[in-house]
A = this chain, B = another copy of it.
Amino acid sequence: MTEHTSYSIQPADFTLTAIGRVASDYPDKFGVPRQPGLAPAGRGILHLLPPFDAPQAVRGLENVSHLWLTFIFHRSPQRWTPLVRPPRLGGNTRIGVFATRSTHRPNRLGLSLVRLEKIEIENGVRLHLSGHDLIDGTPVLDIKPYLPWVESHPDAQAGFAPGPPPGYRVDFSAKAEAALAQRDDEESLRDLIVQVLGQDPRPAYHQDTPARVYGVSLRDVNVRFCIQGDADSLRMHVVDIE
């Protein structure tokens, strides 16, 4: 193993092409789960794009339960800084970008483990996903099967985010309940709202303004919610579903 100081003069740029795009329950950045799997009710469809949409390319995926998606954080700025402020540290502590999963990173590459629910191969290839954290329109660069015997390390040390964030209770106003009751997707939309709000999607620097009503876009609705209770018994209250 040599030091290879000549590396820096080798060509280092690569042009990559989206193999597909995601149609997602999450129209905007605000409300997207901070990791995949935190909102199992989150649905998405990965549409493969030509020339990557041959049904043969997904042959064998019917026996695979979890997929790695490598994608571009296309709504994040291209600029990056060596230090970022993760929400899990309250938004005040700065840490190295490569020690985080921040979207503000060189190359804007994302990596998400998602569940594969269904494969459609009529009129193009569509992979139905759940438990994802991808914004609508996300360009996907690669799909790989998850290998549990290589990639499952329950005892790994994960630095500042050793476990899932705390979950908060979510309740609904009578008006919000009435709006939900009129939906065909009542049950799955309720699950999605509880899972997304339960993680407290507010940016860290907003957590001192309890009176404010926030709006989060999920599917085709705007979910308006506020914070109730004190620090020890915080809950998310859904005011309305528009």
Using CB atoms and an 8 Å cutoff, list the residues of chain A in contact with chain B: 1-4, 7-8, 10, 12-19, 21, 23-25, 35-38, 43-45, 47, 49-50, 52, 54, 56-61, 63-66, 68, 70, 72, 82-83, 94-101, 105-109, 111, 113, 136-137, 139, 141-164, 219
Contact = CB atoms under 8 A, between A and B. Distances in A.
A149 to B, nearest CB: 5
A80 B108 CA distance: 24
A153 B35 CA distance: 15
Number of copies: 2
Contact of A142 (B45, B50, B109, B161): B109
Contact of A107 (B16, B35, B162): B16
B3 A23 contact: yes
B61 A96 contact: yes
Given A7-B47, A98-B57, A156 B150 contact: no
Nearest to A185: B1
A4 B143 contact: no
Contacts of A7: 21, 47, 49, 137
A64 B25 CA distance: 32
Contact of A4 (B21, B98, B151, B153): B21
